[in-house]
Amino acid sequence: LGPVRQNSENDHSPLKLFTHAKTTITGIFKNIASYVNDSNKYLDEVSKSDRNLIADDKHKNIQQLKDKVNRILSVISRDHMKVVFFGRTSNGKSTTVNAMLRERILPVGMGHTTNCFLQIEGTDKAEPYVLTPGSDEPKSVTSLGNVGSALSREKLDSDSLVKILWPKEKCRLIRDDVVLVDSPGIDVSANLDQWIEDHCLDADVFVLVVSAEATITVAEKKFLHNVAQRLSNPNIFILMNRWDATAYEPDEVESVKQQHLDRGLEFLCDELHLCDRKEASEHRMFFISAREALLSRNKDPTASPRTGFNEGYKERLDEFTKFEHEFEECISKTAVQTKFQQHTNRGKEIIALLRDTTANIANKSQTLKQELVQNLTQMDEKNNLLEHELRSMTESAKEKIRHISEDVYKRVAQTLND
332 binds ligand GDP (CB under 6 A): no
**Residue placing its CB nearer to ligand GDP in the complex, 90 or 132:** 90
Identify residues 199-238 at the interface with ligand GDP (CB under 6 A). none
For residue 17, the minimal CB distance to ligand GDP (Å) is: 29
- Of 289, 332, 334, 357, the one binding ligand GDP by CB under 6 A: 289
**Residue placing its CB nearer to ligand GDP in the complex, 256 or 335:** 256
Identify residues 347-376 at the interface with ligand GDP (CB under 6 A). none
**Residue placing its CB nearer to ligand GDP in the complex, 310 or 360:** 310
**Residue placing its CB nearer to ligand GDP in the complex, 64 or 304:** 304
For residue 338, the minimal CB distance to ligand GDP (Å) is: 27
244 binds ligand GDP (CB under 6 A): yes
Kindly write out the interface string for residues 77-96 of this chain, putting x where it contacts ligand GDP by CB under 6 A and - elsewhere: ----------x-xxxxxxx-
**Residue placing its CB nearer to ligand GDP in the complex, 29 or 86:** 86
**Residue placing its CB nearer to ligand GDP in the complex, 200 or 295:** 295
Distances (CA, A) of 9 to 4, 12, 64, 328, 351: 9, 5, 44, 13, 38
In three-state form (DSSP H/G/I as H, E/B as E, the rest C), the secondary structure along the chain is: CHHHHHHHHHHCCCCHHHHHHHHHHHHHHHHHHHHHHHHHHHHHHHHHHCHHHCCHHHHHHHHHHHHHHHHHHHHHHHCCEEEEEECCCCCCHHHHHHHHHCCCCCCCCCCCCCCCEEEEEEECCCCCEEECCCCCCCEEHHHHCCHHHHHHCCCCCCCCEEEEEEEHHHCHHHHCCEEEEECCCCCCCCCHHHHHHHHHCCCCEEEEEEECCCCCCHHHHHHHHHHHHHCCCCCEEEEEECHHHHHHCCCCHHHHHHHHHHHHHHHHHHHCCCCCHHHHHHHCEEECCHHHHHHHHCCCCCCCCCCCCCCCHHHHHHHHHHHHHHHHHHHHHHHHHHHHHHHHHHHHHHHHHHHHHHHHHHHHHHHHHHHHHHHHHHHHHHHHHHHHHHHHHHHHHHHHHHHHHHHHHHHHHHHHHC
**Residue placing its CB nearer to ligand GDP in the complex, 90 or 296:** 90
Q: Which stretch binds ligand GDP (CB under 6 A): 106-114, 171-179, 224-232, 379-387?
A: 106-114
Kindly write out the interface string for residues 8-37 of this chain, putting x where it contacts ligand GDP by CB under 6 A and - elsewhere: ------------------------------
For residue 67, the minimal CB distance to ligand GDP (Å) is: 43
For residue 317, the minimal CB distance to ligand GDP (Å) is: 11
> Closest CB to ligand GDP belongs to which residue?
92
178 and 83 Cβ atoms separated by less than 8 Å? yes
For residue 289, the minimal CB distance to ligand GDP (Å) is: 4
Q: What are phi and psi of 159, to 5 degrees?
A: -80, -15
**Residue placing its CB nearer to ligand GDP in the complex, 287 or 340:** 287
**Residue placing its CB nearer to ligand GDP in the complex, 75 or 156:** 156
For residue 307, the minimal CB distance to ligand GDP (Å) is: 13
- Of 84, 105, 108, 205, the one binding ligand GDP by CB under 6 A: 108
296 binds ligand GDP (CB under 6 A): no
# residues near ligand GDP by CB under 6 A? 20
Distances (CA, A) of 173 to 1, 207, 287, 305, 325: 21, 16, 22, 25, 12
**Residue placing its CB nearer to ligand GDP in the complex, 87 or 128:** 87
334 binds ligand GDP (CB under 6 A): no
**Residue placing its CB nearer to ligand GDP in the complex, 33 or 219:** 219
Q: What residue ranges bind ligand GDP (CB under 6 A)? A: 87, 89-95, 108-109, 113-114, 185, 241-242, 244-245, 289-291
